[in-house]
Structures are given as structure tokens and as C-alpha cells.
A and B are shown apart, each in its own frame.
Chain A
């Protein structure tokens, strides 16, 4: 083991002297308690270490022990359904009301193993060799993978039975005739992306159940999205809502430098919610990684890599994975803090010059891929951005924007009116939308792309007209434009507004979304025709169908499709009555 002795310490940074061959990013334990840290600089006989935990009480002369491996995490069947800190250490355990720094033992989990291979089989890195289950009859099985950097011929494979997740169960003989021991879990350095066989174009949509996303700004599997917004605009609720209802098979929820109560809220709520597809508690498909804002900053910097490494591990099992990171700005700030302590030259906003590169590397790890074992897997990444003073021209927002394909901007005005999700339909965009139109068409919505366009154009027109109305007064606008305003308001209220807390409306299936989009489009067609034939806009605004359409998301539950049929009839009847002989109006 590499050894060094502290020479100088201040805050979370220390320098130590050594003769041993430490390497950059090597994990270290410091002092008697074994406070965790990482080597960040080498200079002659001196190493510089950043601490991931509070170093109170450390002093010159205290030992620094190198682990001779970069900061790594243990990936295995014990992850799902659990909560970890930023270095993937379990937070569970009675009697641990407070977190104290220092080494603590991670109890190995015990799992039921079902072998998938026999002696003689040749395995390459990433190949599955067994299934692991929490109980022998548990329905959910996870694949155990050969570590990507190992390969060989199976010499022995343990039989069916219960094993600790870090206990060797498979022996491989590699090309040089050496025996390699493999357990259900394996260790992987967090800063190194896990290899894949091939990257694939992003496709079909990752359905979120949120209308404004799925229909206006959809994200594809393997895609990347950012959610910038000032405090209180709804970043966390949006990411949590997507975590609950999106159609990924595994969710990695990364709380990076945010509130402890929010993490507690996730742990309180998710086990009680059911996955709409499997009927299983949502928590079973989740891994929660929590580095709350009061935890040490260096661990916050690492937590982002921990999260994405765990996500890649599930992707490598051929699963559809989604990672939510709330908030990537806290990670960037941690980078800035560490960089400042190292005396590096600050760039824009005090961030180090490599901020942009780090963001690019992180988002590049999102992809749809063919895994090493030939399966298809995907990792979709969604990151919240918390711009200081809600200023979207600050470095983290700007640089992130360069690397993501989806921009979901939150708007303070909407949030203040309690119009949620407060995604601004004007400045937000999706680069995945064009690819995804085909999927919608196959779902029986060939008009999806055209309707989407129409909604977006209408909303844009609304901003322009409202600006004009502010100068001239609404009444001065011609009927066609007044109708545009009416329809835009209807789309906002009847389609874009969707409360995360409404039991009926928090999740909308594609089918419900298609019905709602269709009804609104029909309303616009009929209304335009009516106005074209001289009907006053005020009479359209007074139609009873309007309120029904405004509230249909909240009023009509998933299974009640026949109520949409009823709405359609009502719509036709309402307009029919307008243009009937008594309703005809002469253009003035």
C-alpha cells in the first residue's frame, strides 16, 4: 500500500510527503479514522489530496494510505431500491441519524444466484454469467456481468444458492493461463466511462407522461436534456415526476448538493407508488444517490461520476436507464471550489477553463448503445441547472446547452402563477422531435408532427400578439387575432398545464395525449371556420365546451376514454349550434 505523511492541511485540501508511487485520482484514507480522499496533484515527493469528508482534527504527521486504485465504486445487485451517498456508500442502517466522517464497513448483501454459464464457455468482458435475486422466488432478476476489463474461459461456476455479493462465484482462465476470480459485484473507476460495442442513433421516445415534454419537446432514449430554472421554478418536481412516470426500466436519481428533505421525500414517496407498467413499487427500479448541500463539496464533485457510472452499469445489462441529476450547477460549483483551492487560473464566472470539457464528457456518457454482450441498452440523462440570479447567460447554462439536445427552460412568471410545469414553450426546444415523429405515427397519430408544429406556432404567435395588445388594447385586435389568443390560452390551460400532484393527471399515457391533442386541434379548426364565417370570438369564448377542454386533463382519468368521445360530440354540437340559422351573424 502507498503511504504518505501529512505536511500541511487547510480546509479540505492537504499536502503530504511520500516516496511511494501514488497516482493521480488514487483513492486514499487519511488519519486514524480513515477519512476518504483523492490524490489530485503530484509534485516531486509531495502529493496533494482533496478530502471527501470533514478533516477536523487531522494534523501534520498523520498517515495517508493510498488504495493503489482510482476512486471506484462497487457495482452489483445491491444497488436497486437503495440510497447511497456521493461515493456510493449505503446510507441505510438504524442508529445512523447523523453522518460522521471516516471509514465504515459496507455490509455485503446476500443474493440468490442462478448460474447462466458452464465450465468451458468463453466469456468476454460485459457478458452476463448469472442472475441475482433478492429471494429465490423474487420476480425481478438482475444480470451479473463479467467486468468489462476481464475475459476468459469458465473454469468453475458456483451453483444455484445464496452468496454474498462480493464473494467469488466464477473463475475464469485468461489468455495467459491465469485464473481470475469474479463476484456478483465488481468495482469500476467512476471517472472512466464503461466501454460499449457500438453507439446507436437515439430513438424511440423516452416517454415521460408529461404532455408538454412528450408532445412538444420530446426526449429520445439515449438523449440528453437540461432543465435550467431559478429557484422555485420546478426543476426538482419535474425531474422527480419524470423519475416516477417515465418508461425507463431503471432510474438513477442523483441529488447533488440539494436539500436533505427532498431526498427524504423521495424515500418516503417512491416505495408507495406503483410503476404504471409493472405494478411494482417504483422504488424497486431506483437507485438514489444523495449528496446533500451540507455534505462536503469534494464528494459532490465525485457524486456526478458515481451516478453516471451506476447508470452505465445498468445500461450494460441491456436496460433502458434514465439518470436525473439535480443539480449539475452544484457540481460545477464544486469544481470551481476545488480548482480555486488549487490556485488554478479562474475563467468565466470563476469556473476553471475545463468546465466546458467536463460538461461535455459527462453528457457524452448518455447514449443508446449495443453493449459489449450484444444487447441494446440506453442511458438518457436529464440535468437540472440552477443559474445564479436566474440568468441563463451564465457559464454553466451556456456550456451545458452546447452539449444537450433538449432544452427545457423554466419560466419564473409561469411558476409564480402556479402554472406547472413552468416550462417556457417559446425558448425551450427538442432536437429529437423530428426523429420521433415516426414513432408517434406508428402509434396511430400520423398527425402528431403537424399538430405539434401548429401548437408551437400558435404559442409563438401569442407572445407577439400579447405584446401588441399591451399597446393597443385587446379590443383593437381583429377577430382572427383575438381567436389566436383564445386558442393559445386554451392550449396552455387544457394541454400544457399538468399538476404533478393531481392523481388523475400526473401521468398521461400517449393515448391520452393523442386524444387531447386531437380534440384541441379540432376545436381550433372549427373555431377558425366559425370566425371565418362571421361568428364573434366572444361567442366562441362563451361555449360550454371551452371549460370542459380546459379541465379535461384533470377531469378525465386514464381509463375513461369514452369521456373523450363525449367531449368530441359536445364540441361538434356546440359549434353546430353556433353556425345554425339562429347563430349566424353578419360580418359588421
Chain B
């Protein structure tokens, strides 16, 4: 530890404004270094140095400054940026939003201590994510496949079953090769209500996954500035589990909307000029420092796969939070309120969903040779259905051509039999078989995305050939 490690500074605070504490600087302190702000009540609040000059410094506290006084407040200097002490024992444990043990158990035996900001992965050293993960969900596995090392968010809305979907994916996720490799789940709850966090924990427990899960909980009642740290602690843990312990880590972060709200709040308290809808202009870069922490690295065995969940304000996909997220992540799974109301689970809105890395993990040598063409044709047919529905809304189904009526029927079946899964999780083969079956309801002349060979081989005779 550095010399500053045990330096205290009392009677230095001159001004407190929102989360910002201004203090006279009497010791050497560098930008971004961690400090502890200790109130007269003895409570320790984590903070970091946001600005420093010859005489003064500005500390951004990451917990509420409520109750602090100018005179009684002391500052302890840590001499390095915010770090997290990690060891294999973090699995099966529950932490608060800033990495402190919350489950009443003993502290985690530390093997290493790393900065929570993570280091930038050299793009040249990244390994290509291409291992197909079967989630058991037809709309994802067939149409928007997830691969190891991908960042694939769920764009949801208030009241939609995004948490259930995330748990279903976490509990079912497996490689099709059946190879068992060490894996882990990291769950970060940002500003979530207590009962939601508890429900999450319970379902993981029921699924027998708690033993290889690390939970980070910043509850709705916790300070909002702390929300900015929670995903960073969680991702630091994930990177440790992946790159040091060699595990395949699935990180679920919910709810990124709360994170962005906190970012806006803190930015406003700094007096920064806001960009769209009051969110700071650097929100894209800030989110990127989180989302880009997914991936694989050449020569290292593990991987970090991220499924961040966000609730779109007013279900608006053009809102800055989903918009900037979509610009950074490798696709998005979008939930649809209409489908949810119709009782479809999982209510995945197929058209606005996308997996950018799908092409690297499916097809010949990965899943099935007919997988890409099937996905493509299902997309094209469903998109056409949407156009037909629009038309039918005006001229009525009677005014449609016979072909258009077939598309209407296809759309109905697609939503109730392919997207909806009353039968529970499906293997990829089962999902694809449903897909081919639905396409059989359409005239072959309308299937321009399929080659003659594919029509002959997969469409005309029952599926399940091998």
C-alpha cells in the first residue's frame, strides 16, 4: 500500500452540494483515486476524486451525503482508484452495490484486487464469439441466436416479463455440444425493489444455480450515485471469473434504465450541459465502458456474455436509453406489449429484435446448414405479414388476395406456435421444425429466400432429417 493509505484529513471540507464534497487539499492525491468520506456519525461513504488543483479538490461521493456536516467530516485517502478484492469464494454470495458482503457470511478470501473500471481489451486480442448458446427459446435460438461473449440486451417495458425471461435463459443456457465447462452467473440488480431481487434469488435457488452465482444488489432504496458503481463491481467479478478462473460467465444486469437515470442525476449535480432529454452527452461513451466488457480473449479459456435488461420509458425504442444501448450492443431482444397482452410467453417482438453475432455461430459446422436460410425466410415472411395486416385493417380480410390471406394465417400461427412456448423450453431442432412447418403453409413461389435445393430438402418433406 502507498503512503497515503492511512492519511486522514479532518476539518478540510468547505462545501457540500448534492453528491459533491469540496475540500482543501493537504495531501498528495491523484485524479479518480478512491476516498472514504466519514461523517460525524461514523458512517463511511465511498467517493472518488473528480477534480483536483493545487489547493482544493472535488470529491464525488457515491453514497448519499445526507447527514454530513462541514466540521465533523473526515476524509480518508486510499491512494488508488476504487478496487474490488476477489477470490473464487465470491460464488454463492450476495453483495451490496459496492461489493460489500450482504449475506451475513464471512468476508471473501481475496486472491487479487483489481480496479473496478476494468482495462480496455485490446481489440486485436479479442477472440471471435462464435459458440452458439441454446437458450431453449425458439425466437432467440432460431432467429436471433446468442453466442458466448456477446452482449445482447433485452429491451422491455414496465410490467413485461423480462426478469422471468432472463432467469429462463440463465437456467437453460447450454452449449449444444453438451460439453460441460465451468460456468457462472453474475447478477447485478440496479435500483431494483427488494421483492424483485428476492424473487430473482429464489428462482436461481430453485433452479439449483445459486451455488455458482454472485449477486450484486443495489436496491431501490440505496443511493443513486452508488448505482453507477454496481455494474462495475459486477463486471469486475465477471472478468475475474472468466479470465482468471476460466469460467463462462453470464452477466445479467437489471435495470439499465435505473443506471442511466442515476447518470443523469449525477451529471446534473455537476452542472454539466445536458444532451438529449437531460441525459449527459457522454452517456454513449459511459455505457460503452460497461457493455464493451463482454467478450472473449485469445488464449484465455473463459468468456463474459452480457444480458442487460432495460425498460424503455413509455415503450419508446427511440428514447436515448435503448437508442444508445442499441448502438453499442450486438443486437437486442425486444419484448412486445401486444403479444404479452395476448398471453404469448415469451412475448418477443421478432421484427425489431436482432443478433448481430448470429451469423458467426450458426449454419454449417455450427448448428444446421438450413438454419440461416430458415431464419431469413421466417423474417421475410413475418415482415410481409405485418404489411398484410395493415392492409387488412383498411380493406378487410375479404379484400385481400388469396396469397395475402395465407400470410395472415402464417402470422397468427407464427405468434401462437413459434414465438409462444406453452410447452416450455425447446431444443433448437424442435424450434426449427416448427419454423419449417409454418413455412409449409405458404406457397412455394412466395419463398424467394430459399433455394430450390432447400425447398426440396427441407420444405417438401417433413423436417428431422439429419
Contact = CB atoms under 8 A, between A and B. Distances in A.
Interface of A: 7-11, 55-61, 83, 91-92, 96-100, 230-232, 255, 257, 259-261, 263-265, 267-268, 290, 292-295, 297, 330, 333, 336-337, 340, 346, 349-350, 386, 388-391, 413, 416-419, 469-475, 493, 501, 542, 546-547, 550-551, 554-555
A386 B284 CA distance: 12
A58 B328 CA distance: 30
Given A59-B30, A418-B383, A7 B123 contact: no
B31 A388 contact: no
With most chain B CB atoms within 10 A of its CB, the pick from A350, A469, A554 is A350
Given A58-B31, A60-B53, A83 B275 contact: no
With most chain A CB atoms within 10 A of its CB, the pick from B58, B81, B126, B272 is B126
A416 B289 contact: no
Interface residues of B, number: 80
A259 B328 contact: yes
Contacts of A259: 292, 328, 330
B281 A294 contact: no
A293 B122 contact: no
B221 interface: no
A60 B54 contact: yes
B448 A267 contact: no
B51 A10 contact: yes
Contacts of A330: 284
With most chain A CB atoms within 10 A of its CB, the pick from B28, B323, B372 is B323
A419 B275 contact: no
A417 B384 contact: yes
Given A293-B285, A418-B380, A547-B445, A99 B273 contact: no
Contacts of A333: 281, 284-285
A390 B318 CA distance: 7
B380 A417 contact: yes
A340 B281 contact: yes
Contacts of A416: 351-352, 379, 383
B380 A419 contact: yes
Given A261-B129, A292-B120, A231 B323 contact: yes
Contacts of A265: 128, 360
Nearest to A56: B32
Contact of B122 (A97, A261, A419): A97
Given A388-B276, A470-B390, A474-B401, A10 B356 contact: no
Given A56-B31, A261-B295, A473-B395, A493 B448 contact: yes
Interface pairs A-B: 10 shortest CB-CB: A417-B383, A10-B51, A293-B288, A98-B119, A389-B318, A8-B53, A264-B126, A263-B123, A231-B326, A294-B292
A58 B360 CA distance: 42
With most chain B CB atoms within 10 A of its CB, the pick from A61, A83, A337 is A337
A8 B285 contact: no
Contacts of B298: 97
B124 interface: yes
With most chain B CB atoms within 10 A of its CB, the pick from A231, A255, A292, A389 is A231
Interface in B323-352: 323-324, 326-328, 330-332, 351-352
A296 to B, nearest CB: 9
A472 to B, nearest CB: 7
B225 interface: no
B194 interface: no
Given A57-B33, A554-B451, A475 B401 contact: yes
22 contacts: A57-B31, A59-B31, A83-B124, A97-B125, A98-B119, A257-B284, A261-B149, A261-B295, A264-B123, A264-B128, A333-B284, A336-B281, A346-B273, A388-B323, A389-B318, A416-B351, A417-B351, A417-B384, A419-B380, A473-B395, A475-B399, A493-B448
Interface in B396-429: 399-401
B54 A386 contact: no
Interface in B295-330: 295, 297-298, 300, 318-320, 323-324, 326-328, 330
Contacts of B448: 493, 547, 550-551
A99 B330 contact: no
Contact of A417 (B51, B128, B375, B379): B379
Given A60-B52, A337-B281, 4 more contacts: A10-B52, A61-B54, A474-B391, A475-B401
